[in-house]
Chain A
Amino acid sequence: MCPWQERGAGRENSCNTCDFSSLGYACRNISTSSALQNRTHVSCDIKGDVAVVRFNTPNSKVNTLSKQLSAEFTDVMNEIWANEAVRSAVLISSKPGSFIAGADLNMLEACKTAQEVTQLSQDGQKMLEKIENSPKPVVAAISGSCLGGGLEVGLPAAFDMMLTGRNIRADRAKKMGLVDQLVEPLGPGLKTPEARTIEYLEEVAINFARGLANKTVSAKRSRGLMQRLTDYAMALPFVRQQVYKTVESKVQKQTKGLYPAPLKIIEVVKTGLDQGNDAGYLIEAQSFGQLAVTKESKALMGLYHGQVHCKKNKFGNPQKEVKTLAVLGAGLMGAGIAQVSVDKGIKTILKDTAQKGLDRGQQQVYKGLNSKVKKKSLTSFERDSILSNLMGQLDYKGFEKADMVIEAVFEDINVKHKVLKEVEAVIPAHCVFASNTSALPISQIAAASKRPEKVIGMHYFSPVDKMQLLEIITTDKTSQDTAASAVAVGLKQGKVVIVVKDGPGFYTTRCLGPMLSEVVRVLQEGIDPKKVDAISTAFGFPVGAATLIDEVGVDVATHVAEDLGKAFGQRFGGGSIDLFKLMVQKGFLGRKAGKGFYVYQEGVKNRSVNSGMDEILQKFRVPPLSHSCSDEDIQMRLVTRFVNEAAMCLQEGILSNPLEGDIGAVFGLGFPPCLGGPFRFADSYGARQLVDKLRKYEAVYGSQFTPCQLLLDHANSPSKKFHQ
């Protein structure tokens, strides 16, 4: 019953391998292929008395639970059960690094109705139930990602994993009792490490299966004291009720009720525990069917496809791979960029102008890596060896070997021009110059360059090691190879990359601008920051709107708002920029200064509203306009301005397609994932309805709400959709 979100939201699982086994050595090379039918997804070898079932979705990096795969798998299993010479079976993937990555999204998307999905789900359940009750032991040998339905194939006898779509490392899975044995990856031998590891996994699994059939090993998982106590307690109805209540409230809190799947899952588990397996399976299949056709499901599947799209380099391979990268400025962004580069094996120079700033930046990189050591996803040795590729310095030494320079210096065109000129004097001819700016037009920066074809924008999001998005900005002069190089670096850094055209605020900053302006307006109307945060998170934003300004930094926001205000005029109006300016004057720069809308203290979790803001807010107070300040109105005022601006970016060709627009908004700005992005939202909410709202607010507040032409076009012809 694993929700397929796991796949959309999940990162690739760490490539540890897990499986089940016993002592001894496998006799190989005695395979006699039994099935001669033309199977393309599943094959079966008989090795002695053990059947080895191999999954291999053709032309795909991962195996997915498609109709074809399920049908062939059912076939193969039926043959195994019918074949008396076979006493046990091993399930394994032919693809290193992927067992079964979950349900085939294309299959789910092809389903028109909930009933169709329910039917699919029930077919799957029947098969898994048969495996669970198989008279012949079935061992799953799992290498790499095993998600969603794949997990159920692998571990039919185990607990269904619920709720949070997180990835579980192999050693954790063993501790949780999900798997019985782990096999550590092997190094080189007489074959490549990958090939030999999967072969070894199979050998070990075959022995384990044989042992299970001969009853020389037992698959019984010993239950610890805690487990036994828990089992006992869970058998008591009143304890169960209490647990349900706790889990439900926790889920409510995390999802704000915006994601239907987790609550359904609880309902299913409840039914299963209280009313028995059959009732549980039935409601599971039904719920899965219902969920698969919800708009949230469509939104998340859309994001998944978008993410896949943005993990490809549409410019092809660059002529020269970036092996040495120089980052200018060791601030939060610069150090973050250095961290995600150096840990991918790129030699990285981190340059600053002052020792103090450089120290801080180097410490940030160290801390970032060290937190992985504490979480055991990195050894201290790996941390040290990664850091040995980071060179912190105050001069331009070694820049003659740099393949790319990313500047993350102060957001001031004169400073940018100065460093560009300095850098161009020392770098080799092929070196790309990338600017990490959130709003300054790249062409303006490139104006100072001797080689504008090598200049590009790489807009990272803070904190760089956590935020997945990278927005790449090309100017008319940027060469294809420069773009290819920038995208390649971004992908190597693990980013989801969108490529947009140059313009004030590019795409992301430009969408955020009007929304934040509206936030200021709302604050001026006397709604306090906590309430603003609550309203925006209730809509699905991961970070409240007022907090977001603190995170971005009030000075940065002021800068951007001024620049964009000049460029776009009234459309960026609404809130008063002077409010920001006064905040900057008072030193309320946001989180980095310890004070913004909130007060930030080390170690204090429940931060309080900055009382110093009262006076400022009072000063800029405007009367609320009564018929448009319900919570819903406030949400819509924020969101419609966002969506309107996004549509404008598409209209002007800043964005090349709606898909990248959705990805940029969700992964860079935290646009509610359950809505799938501004364009997906426009489709599902209806362009007509959006335009109506905009018109309503336009009448009250002014032209900042005037809908753009593209949105009007969509509103006028209902068949027009951003996503087909």
Chain B
Amino acid sequence: AQPKTKKTLGKTGVKNVVVVEGVRIPFLQSGTSYADLMPHDLARAALQGLLTRTSVPRDVVDYIVYGTVIQEVKTSNVAREAALGAGFSDKTPAHTVTMACISSNQAMTTGVGMIAAGQCDVVVAGGVELMSDVPIRHSRKMRKTMLTLNRAKTLGQKLSLISKIRPDYFTPELPAVAEFSTSETMGHSADRLAAAFGVSRLEQDEYALRSHSLAKKAQDEGLLQDVVPFKVPGKDTVTKDNGIRPSSLEQMGKLKPAFVKPYGTVTAANSSFLTDGASAMLIMSEEKALAMGYKPKAYLRDFVYVSQDPKDQLLLGPTYATPKVLEKAGLTLGDIDVFEFHEAFAGQILANLKAMDSDWFAQNYMGRKSKVGAPPLDKFNTWGGSLSLGHPFGATGCRLVITAAHRLKKEGGQYGLVAACAAGGQ
């Protein structure tokens, strides 16, 4: 298709930053084929996929940034472990960032900043999450005893410490599934958010069904070109996302609410599921990409981060960020050809759409004169979203960006807008 000719968003004096390529390994429901791997294995596979796809010489890469949420303590700088394992030069530094569900967004914008500041020309950004295995710790009391035991010198001291251990010391400590500041689980908050905006159960189920149907269609039509196959050690090669399951409204209607019982509206079917997966993206300065003979897939122009009340507005980030980033870029909602929003919960997406379409909310909570407007659904997540494709926390951001780039190309659009909400109210 012929690209529309609108104004460029390039800024004088600032380097143009481009996406050369972005890939991801198939996103799988946790506990399936990736269950026995470690996070850096997934990240390594994504990095290797990127190298294979782009044939970029390894020593050209100046820096690697990865995002992740639940850290495996053995590989706390998972970016470095994965890079070494993927055969990158051991002279390429790597660091890991975390910002809940927008961790890989943070990885990408970190890269953008480095390139724009002239620190680097070529950065690999990505994200990884392995929910099949999470660190479960001994209780604090037990840990304290074990650490003191290390320092105990005599057998008597050791025995006296051991004798203090009680059965409750063995209660394990699970990683918190709740917001630390409020102790509220995200699903519970999403349910309250949906109720606050009057989003019905049926609307949520319909939206979730749409996500699964569109994802299935995109998968069948081969539109999800960002997926690279992954030969899992000891298992078959994984080539496809396995969480896409278009169901029926009747079946979805039968599910009981998962968080606010018994009258809530958020269920397993209209929420994103626990996912294993990793993504990787090659970003460069425009000159470098052109010099190396690459045709950029997209220009990364503007970004904003916002944050708000982690209790009642936990998942409203997109509502706050959208008008801000549009203003920064000098665009209006109508200029955007492609929207890719992270779907944590159907209720969260619909609440955001309603909030963006409300003058009252804009005036009373965002300090704006009027609403920004809701994105039209025919431009919105038309190849599925996190509800259906899956949501490995740290990896989703790169998927959103590369999907937006692919959709722009396919549909002949010029501007894409990516938004996501994250724990912590950001």
Contacts and interface: CB of A to CB of B under 8 A. Distances in A.
**Same complex origin of A and B:** yes
B196 A21 contact: no
B263 A204 contact: yes
A21 B313 contact: no
A207 to B, nearest CB: 7
Nearest to A182: B260
A200 B360 contact: no
Given A22-B262, A24-B201, A181-B262, A187 B312 contact: yes
Tell me the dominant secondary structure on chain B's binding face: loop
Contacts of B196: 186-190, 193, 196, 200
Contacts of B361: 188-190
Given A379-B182, A381-B182, A21 B263 contact: yes
22 contacts: A23-B262, A24-B263, A25-B265, A184-B188, A184-B192, A186-B196, A187-B192, A187-B193, A187-B196, A187-B309, A187-B312, A188-B196, A189-B195, A189-B354, A189-B355, A189-B361, A190-B198, A190-B354, A190-B355, A190-B361, A193-B312, A381-B182
B181 interface: yes
A189 B197 contact: yes
Interface string A174-217: 00000001001011111111001000100010011000000001
B201 A379 contact: no
Contact of B312 (A23, A188, A217, A381): A188
Given A188-B312, A190-B354, A193-B312, A200 B195 contact: yes
Contacts of B188: 184
Contacts of B313: 187-188
B263 A189 contact: no
Which bracket fits the contact residues of B?
Answer: 20 to 34
Interface string B287-325: 000000000000000000000010111000000000000
A193 to B, nearest CB: 7
A22 B256 CA distance: 11
Contacts of B331: none
A412 to B, nearest CB: 45
B351 A181 contact: no
Contacts of A191: 360
B198 A23 contact: no
B110 interface: no
Interface string B351-364: 10011001011001
A215 to B, nearest CB: 15
Nearest to B359: A190
A22 B260 CA distance: 11
Interface residues of A, number: 23
B161 interface: no
B300 to A, nearest CB: 32
Interface string B154-196: 0000000000000000000000000011110000100011011
B170 to A, nearest CB: 24
B182 to A, nearest CB: 7
Contacts of B201: 23-25
A208 B358 CA distance: 30
A190 B374 CA distance: 14
Interface in B229-279: 257, 260, 262-263, 265
B359 to A, nearest CB: 10
A25 B182 CA distance: 27
A21 B364 CA distance: 30
A23 B254 CA distance: 11
B262 A21 contact: yes
Contacts of B192: 184, 186-187
Given A23-B201, A207-B263, 20 more contacts: A181-B263, A187-B312, A188-B312, A188-B364, A189-B197, A189-B351, A189-B355, A189-B361, A190-B197, A190-B354, A190-B358, A192-B364, A196-B195, A196-B198, A204-B263, A208-B263, A217-B262, A381-B180, A381-B182, A381-B183
A21 B191 CA distance: 15
Nearest to B184: A184
The 7 nearest A-B residue pairs measured at CB: A187-B312, A189-B196, A381-B181, A21-B263, A186-B196, A189-B197, A25-B200
A356 B92 CA distance: 51
A24 B263 CA distance: 7
Contacts of A189: 193, 195-198, 351, 354-355, 361
A190 B355 CA distance: 7
Nearest to B188: A184
A537 to B, nearest CB: 40
Contacts of A186: 192, 195-196, 312
The CB with the most chain B CB atoms within 10 A, among A191, A193, A207, is that of A191
Contacts of B364: 188, 192
B202 interface: yes
Nearest to B361: A190
A45 to B, nearest CB: 18
B38 to A, nearest CB: 32
Nearest to B260: A184
Contacts of A22: 262-263
A25 B197 contact: no
A23 B263 contact: yes
The CB with the most chain B CB atoms within 10 A, among A186, A192, A204, is that of A186
Contacts of B260: 184
Interface in A21-52: 21-25
A379 B309 contact: no
B414 to A, nearest CB: 33
Interface in B58-73: none
Interface string A362-385: 000000000000000001010000
A378 B196 CA distance: 23
Contacts of A196: 195-196, 198
B257 A23 contact: yes
B183 A379 contact: yes
Interface in A377-400: 379, 381
Interface in A193-244: 193, 196, 200, 204, 207-208, 217
A196 B181 CA distance: 24
Contacts of A23: 201, 257, 262-263
Nearest to B179: A381
B357 to A, nearest CB: 9
Contacts of B200: 25
Nearest to B197: A189
Interface string B194-220: 011110111000000000000000000
Contacts of B195: 186, 189, 196, 200
